[in-house]
């Protein structure tokens, strides 16, 4: 795997008084001007602190939401600036545009160690289009470019790719570096047994990742809608359960590939079923049934206790673990129980545990167990693409081999 150029690779004095454009992922939920989840801000703090302490004048840039290429107040980053200031215990100036006159004015006022947050990159259509002109306007603001937005690394957007191509020696921030190290460890020489726990809603969209992992793992434990589709592919009647009718052939391919590779497949042996999730009686109507006997008119919404016990044993014996996808409809307790028990099992192993996926990471954070995992990835789609063996555009531009000044790269990736 090719190495990324990191903050350590920047010359010691390269940052002193330099204008540094730092791409972060502050795509956070905001309601009534209040940031509801500050995880993404906290994740960026180590890089921001290091750049400040090395004397940079910081221009922090991010996208938020999907504002369709024009200013839209509901997607403004203004509320984020206040929270960032609080977390840093330092002033953070907010700049109402990420390029042009306003940005240039703001830069003039910056001293070494100062931070300003630029308005949403996606208020310009050139961002998602990776428009060369827009990338050039961003690039002209700074002398150094650092990308810490791992969750956006699978997008060839202007602030991710175009800018990195226009500023010499673009570098990965600490979060980016940590993500690539942890996920890269899974694709490198993971300690065995290597077990993947795969759940969530859909098999489509995750099939590439699952197939790539099958080449490396010793066992796969399935739950959630994903398991429903696999059970249906085996010919079981899933009644009113969520599953992907049009993915049954793909599901069969997954099972066949696993068998051909000698990967042990575990499917739920029991399931928690209920009638209507929207119904207030959904939890009181819930019963546990054999996975092969889902009663007509009911839907499987979680893995049952026997399944949890079997999965726990496999997890306990593993040395490397990757988990993506909740085991059930965790948003509606008590159907979070299966996911909760799996999270607990992960914290109990001595193996290296990696959790990925937007909802899975949220579930683990909610249960207060995130600190006890080896790594909780902030990259939803980016992490899945990485583990599918795809080359991420945002990483490619940070690889040391990309510039002649970099150190020699090895073959893969």
Which residues are tagged catalytic? 40, 202, 358, 381
Q: Which of residues 321-340 bind ligand ADP (CB under 6 A)?
A: 324-326, 328-329, 331
- Binder to Mg ion among 69, 193, 358, 381 (CB under 5 A)? 358
Residue 338 binding target from ligand ADP, Mg ion, none, CB below 5 to 8 Å by type: none
Residue window 204-243: x/- pattern of binding to ligand ADP, with contact defined by CB under 6 A? --------------------xx--x-------------x-
39: nearest Cα among 94, 93, 80: 80
Q: Which stretch binds Mg ion (CB under 5 A): 45-53, 321-329, 357-365, 401-409?
A: 357-365
- Binder to ligand ADP among 301, 321, 376, 397 (CB under 6 A)? 301
Taking CB under 6 A as the rule, does residue 244 contact ligand ADP? no
Distance CA 265, CA 282 (A): 30
Task: Give me the least distance between CB of 232 and ligand ADP, in Å please.
Answer: 12
Q: Which stretch binds Mg ion (CB under 5 A): 215-223, 257-265, 359-367, 383-391?
A: 359-367
Which pair of tokens denotes residue 371? 């600190």
Cβ-Cβ contacts under 8 Å for 262 (sequence gap 6 or more): none
Cβ-Cβ contacts under 8 Å for 239 (sequence gap 6 or more): 273, 294, 295, 296, 297, 298, 299, 300
Distance CA 171, CA 230 (A): 42
Taking CB under 5 A as the rule, does residue 359 contact Mg ion? yes
Site of tokens 């795997």: 1
- Binder to ligand ADP among 119, 359, 385, 399 (CB under 6 A)? 359
Crossing angle between the packed helical segments 224-233 and 248-261, to the nearest 10 degrees? 90
Task: Give me the least distance between CB of 325 and ligand ADP, in Å please.
Answer: 5
DSSP string, 246-307: GGHHHHHHHHHHHHHHT-EEE--SEEEEES-TTSTTTTTT-EEEETT-PPTT-EEEEE-HHH
Residues that bind ligand ADP (CB under 6 A): 199-202, 224-225, 228, 242, 300-301, 324-326, 328-329, 331, 357-360, 380
């Amino acid at each position: 795997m090719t190495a990324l150029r990191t903050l350590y690779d920047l010359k010691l004095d390269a940052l002193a008084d330099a204008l540094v454009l730092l791409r972060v992922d502050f795509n956070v939920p905001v309601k009534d001007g209040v940031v509801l989840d500050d995880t993404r801000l906290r994740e960026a703090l180590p890089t921001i602190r290091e750049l400040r302490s090395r004397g940079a004048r910081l221009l922090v840039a991010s996208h938020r939401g999907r504002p369709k290429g024009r200013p839209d107040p509901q997607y403004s980053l203004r509320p984020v600036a206040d929270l960032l200031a609080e977390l840093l215990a330092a002033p953070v100036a907010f700049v109402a545009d990420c390029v042009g006159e306003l940005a240039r004015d703001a830069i003039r006022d910056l001293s070494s160690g100062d931070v300003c947050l630029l308005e949403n990159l996606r208020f310009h259509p050139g961002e998602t289009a990776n428009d060369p002109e827009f990338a050039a306007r961003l690039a002209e603001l700074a002398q150094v470019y650092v990308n810490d937005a791992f969750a956006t690394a699978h997008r060839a957007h202007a602030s991710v790719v175009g800018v990195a191509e226009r500023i010499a020696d673009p570098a990965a921030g600490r979060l980016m570096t940590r993500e690539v190290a942890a996920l890269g460890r899974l694709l490198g020489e993971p300690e065995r047994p290597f077990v993947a726990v795969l759940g969530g809603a859909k098999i489509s969209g995750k099939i590439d990742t699952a197939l790539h992992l099958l080449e490396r793992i010793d066992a796969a434990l399935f739950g959630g809608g994903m398991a429903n589709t696999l059970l249906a592919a085996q010919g079981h009647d899933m009644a009113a359960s969520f599953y992907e009718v049009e993915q049954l052939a793909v599901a069969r391919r997954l099972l066949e590939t696993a068998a051909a590779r000698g990967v042990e497949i575990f499917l739920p042996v029991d399931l928690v079923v209920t009638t209507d999730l929207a119904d207030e009686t959904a939890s009181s109507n819930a019963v546990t049934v054999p996975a092969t006997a889902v009663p007509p008119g009911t839907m499987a919404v979680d893995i049952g206790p026997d399944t949890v016990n079997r999965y726990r044993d496999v997890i306990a014996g593993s040395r490397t673990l990757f988990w993506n996808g909740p085991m059930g409809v965790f948003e509606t307790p008590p159907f979070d129980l299966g996911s909760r028990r799996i999270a607990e099992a992960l914290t109990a192993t001595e193996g290296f545990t990696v959790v990925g996926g937007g909802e899975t990471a949220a579930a683990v954070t909610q249960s207060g167990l995130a600190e006890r995992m080896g790594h909780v990835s902030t990259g939803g789609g980016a992490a899945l693409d990485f583990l599918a063996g795809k080359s991420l555009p945002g990483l490619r531009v940070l690889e040391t081999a990309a510039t002649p000044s970099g150190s020699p790269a090895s073959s893969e990736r």
